[in-house]
A and B are shown apart, each in its own frame.
Chain A
Amino acid sequence: MEKLINDFSFGLFFWQTLIFLLLIFLLRKFAWKPILTAVNEREEGIKNALLSAENAKKEMQSLNSHNEKLLAEARVERDAILKEAREIKDKIISEAKDDAQVQAGKLIEQAKAAINSEKNAAMTELKNQVSNLSIEIAEKVLREELSNKESQTKLVEKMLGDVKLN
């Protein structure tokens, strides 16, 4: 201990403390601050870059899943649309069929009615024609027949007989 105290040099202590404190002060200003700031900035930069990369990855993933969801939705929608279209088509076809049938029925009815009326008209015409012809024939016959009395009577009788039959 005595040797320690004897060895102690105040001058050395004085200079050491002075140099050391001055060195701390100078290095703090000119070295440690810029070094630590630069290193911190660099580390922050790396951290941020990693974080943003991670975020981008996550975003990509969410985007992908979103896309897939959209795709699935679109597929479902497409199927629904197709189904609907098919249904509509079927409906239209069946409706058209029904309509056509109704229309055809109507046409047939009309045609039948027209045919009937035409037939009736033709019948009437024919009757008229026949009656006219009959009258003409009767006239001619009468003219021939009525040249004698007996045949006149005979005819009247025959006609009467016909009327009765009618």
Chain B
Amino acid sequence: MHQISEIKFRQVIVMVFSKKSFLYSLVALIAFLPSVLMANSPEPTPAHGEAVAQENQDPKAEIKEQIEEVKNHHVLDAHSFHFFGDKETGKEYGFPLPIILWDNGLHVFSSSKFDEGKVAEDGGNYYVLHHERIYKTDATGALTEHEGHPTNAKPLDFSITKGVLSMLVIALLMFLLFRSLGNSYSKNGGVAAGAGRFFEPIVLFVRDEIAIPNIGEKHYKRYMSHLLTVFFFIWFLNVVGMMPFGVNVTGNIAVTFGLAIVTFIITTLTAKKDYWMHMLWMPGVPLPMKIILAPIELIGAIIKPFSLMIRLYANMFAGHLVIMSLIGMMFVFKSWIGSPLTFALSFIISLIEILVTLLQAYIFTMLTALYFGAAVEEHHHEEGHH
């Protein structure tokens, strides 16, 4: 009975939105959600077992500690791909990733060398993984700590982490998907075919609703490649973050910094004379104002990409943290009232997060287009200034 009504409900949703492919994607994601929620909480499961509560520790505190661990594990980058583990048997499921270090020479080894807190040895150097940071150490793996932070030397870490792997997979997926879409036109007489066809309206949306209104008919073509790539890259990575075993890539400041700096560099390199004039020597205002405005405008040019970086990072990071916390609360309450309530709450927040995945991709692309638009804008001086 339940299943039938659910199927009908989905059919209704699909029928309602079938004409709007954009919303269709949302519906598809919502339909996918139960599995997302199931998989978001792999590790606290052993907490159900009473055996976990050790004699000398308060069981509640133990669960909280585990939840904290899972939360960190989920929202932060990692040097190995870890699916889930069993605290009781000590079994861990996952696969190691390559560690690439630059420490007076290239060191490449598998992250399995760090398993169970071991000291990894490569080329006569010893390294230890502490809170997902690699430190140089000696054969015993000793760390000198200062106010809780190790002071050991850190080699340059170019490891293929979970996040890098996810980005590589997404990049490959995007390449295959959009290349097949691009090829399908010539084969199919100018009409899109295949899986990529689903994304054609979104490509057009980026062009017609983001690029053209913000940049203008004249210059928008130059920026289309970047805008489309950044939109789908962020969107897909956000969605991957919501999936089972998904990785919170866009909720990492290094990633959003990379995205924002590309926007900043493109804006700066393609800026026209008017952009610099309005930044350094604002026309139409008195001389003292010009001198005051120049540093403000210069700082503004840096704050713009900085806000891009923080906005995406904070939204994704906070969203994941909230969902993980709510899921964690289910195991803290362990009651007939509290757990379903937090389940419902986390379900609702997950729905919102799915909207946010798209929304943040849209906002990032939108603002990027806005900054590009400002860079190439041509002011008509005879019309006066504002």
Contacts and interface: CB of A to CB of B under 8 A. Distances in A.
A72 B174 CA distance: 67
A19 B171 contact: yes
B274 interface: no
Given A31-B181, A38-B186, A39-B200, A10 B254 contact: yes
Interface string A60-81: 0000000000000000000000
B261 A12 contact: no
Interface in B75-106: 76-77, 100
B32 interface: no
Given A10-B156, A32-B178, A39-B203, A23 B171 contact: yes
Interface string A15-45: 1110111111011101111111011011001
Interface in B158-199: 158-161, 163-164, 167-168, 171, 174-175, 178-179, 181-183, 185-186, 190-192
B77 A27 contact: no
Given A20-B233, A24-B229, A36-B224, A13 B257 contact: yes
B182 A31 contact: yes
Contacts of B190: 38, 41-42, 45
A108 to B, nearest CB: 96
Interface stretch (A1-9, A95-103, A135-143): A1-9
Contacts of A31: 175, 178-179, 181-182
Interface residues on B, range: 35 or more
A11 interface: yes
Contacts of B229: 20, 23-24, 27-28, 32
Given A19-B167, A42-B190, A9 B77 contact: yes
Interface of B: 76-77, 100, 156-161, 163-164, 167-168, 171, 174-175, 178-179, 181-183, 185-186, 190-192, 200, 203-204, 207, 221, 224-226, 228-230, 233, 252-255, 257-259, 261-262
